[in-house]
Chains A and B, each alone.
Chain A
Amino acid sequence: MMEPRSLTTRLLLLVAAVVPLIGCSAVVRGQRLSDRPDDTGRGVYLSTGGSPKPYRTLGFVQVTGEGRTVAGMVDVGDAGLDGVIRGTLAQEASKLGGDGVIHIEFLDENPQTDYERLQQAAQTVNSLASGQGQVEQRRRTVVVTGEIIKFTQ
């Protein structure tokens, strides 16, 4: 009778061979930005598009947030579109005396598919169970750029 570990390894290898042919998707989502028009007039205006009102450009900003995914389960650090990065853009706009950030572009450079997370978790469990104590980590990076503006009306 085949040993359980050998069967598990063979199954994992089979999955590893088949999945790249089926394909895998990684989806990253961020919270909402500003509406158009932004009737409230409050808060920092954030948009991937242009400005709804006449404006003056104050500068440009690039933010890179780095993080790690540990054992395929826990995300550590600042590699998220929300939180630090969205907050950081608003913060930098305020520092320059700006009212908003427009033409925002973003890219999660190394997103993980569900399969990759599962693989990482399985490898970590395998490593810990066999006494090697190695925790799988994956570097994550998100880059965001934008144009800081001040409304002139």
Chain B
Amino acid sequence: MRNLLVPVVVLALWAGTGCTTINVAQIPSDRSGKEIFLSAGDIPEPYETLGVVQATRSGVRLFGFLDPVGTDIQAGLRDVLIPQIRDMGGDGAINVRFHQIQYAPLTQVVMAVFFVFPLPSSVTVSGEVVKLRR
């Protein structure tokens, strides 16, 4: 019976803190030319390809929640990919892919308690940089 106690407690804690992690990057754009656009797929407008780019930003999570370096998808797209598109002279990127290490809420809570252990964190973004043919 004692052997079942720990897994039951862990399951209860885990169920209580939830099992879904959500990250949203608010980066509004269209293809009007006023701002750098990002698309996770193709676009209907004609374009010229400038190249492909992949970038990874790595860091640590402190206390389970603090992200001093910025390793979420918002930072990856806004602070890493968009400046890179500008440097390449592009109007935007298509077929953008993004992946961030996401930790379950229970893991974040436990790490907040055991704050001496930082969690590795990173985000990888990629895409095809294009220039719209106007």
From B15, B21, B38, B99, give the contact of A145 (CB < 8 A). B99
Also in contact, A62 and B41, with CB within 8 A (given A56-B28, A77-B19, A133-B4): no
How many inter-chain residue pairs (CB < 8 Å) link A and B?
A: 103
B25 within 8 A of A: yes
B73 touches A57 (CB 8 A): no
Interface of A is mostly: strand
- What range describes how many residues of B lie at the interface? 35 or more
Selected interface stretch from A6-14, A19-27, A33-41, A64-72: A64-72
Q: B38 — which chain A residues lie within 8 A by C-beta?
A: 57, 60
B120 to chain A, nearest CB (A): 16
Q: B96 — which chain A residues lie within 8 A by C-beta?
A: 60
Complex CA gap A108/B73 in Å reads 20
B20 touches A78 (CB 8 A): yes
B113 within 8 A of A: no
Chain A residues with a Cβ closer than 8 Å to the other chain, count: 39
Counting chain A CB atoms within 10 Å of each CB, which of B21, B38, B96 scores highest? Answer: B21
From A60, A63, A68, A105, give the contact of B77 (CB < 8 A). A60
A64 to chain B, nearest CB (A): 4
A79 touches B19 (CB 8 A): yes
B11 touches A68 (CB 8 A): yes
Complex CA gap A141/B96 in Å reads 22
A57 touches B28 (CB 8 A): yes
A96 within 8 A of B: yes
Complex CA gap A76/B107 in Å reads 17
Also in contact, A133 and B1, with CB within 8 A (given A59-B27, A62-B23, A77-B19): yes
B7 touches A137 (CB 8 A): yes
A81 to chain B, nearest CB (A): 13
Residue-wise, chain B 11-40 has the 8 Å CB interface mask toward A (1 for contact) of 100110011111111111110000001111
B26 touches A64 (CB 8 A): no
From B11, B26, B42, B73, give the contact of A62 (CB < 8 A). B73
Known: A56-B30, A60-B25, A62-B22. 9 other contacts (CB 8 A): A49-B41, A57-B30, A62-B99, A64-B21, A65-B19, A66-B21, A77-B15, A135-B4, A147-B41
> Can you offer 20 A-B residue contacts whose CB atoms are under 8 A?
A49-B41, A57-B29, A57-B37, A57-B38, A59-B24, A59-B27, A59-B28, A60-B40, A60-B73, A64-B21, A65-B19, A77-B14, A78-B19, A79-B19, A103-B40, A103-B41, A105-B40, A133-B4, A134-B3, A146-B40
Closest 9 CB pairs of A and B: A103-B40, A133-B3, A147-B40, A78-B19, A77-B19, A64-B102, A103-B41, A59-B26, A66-B19
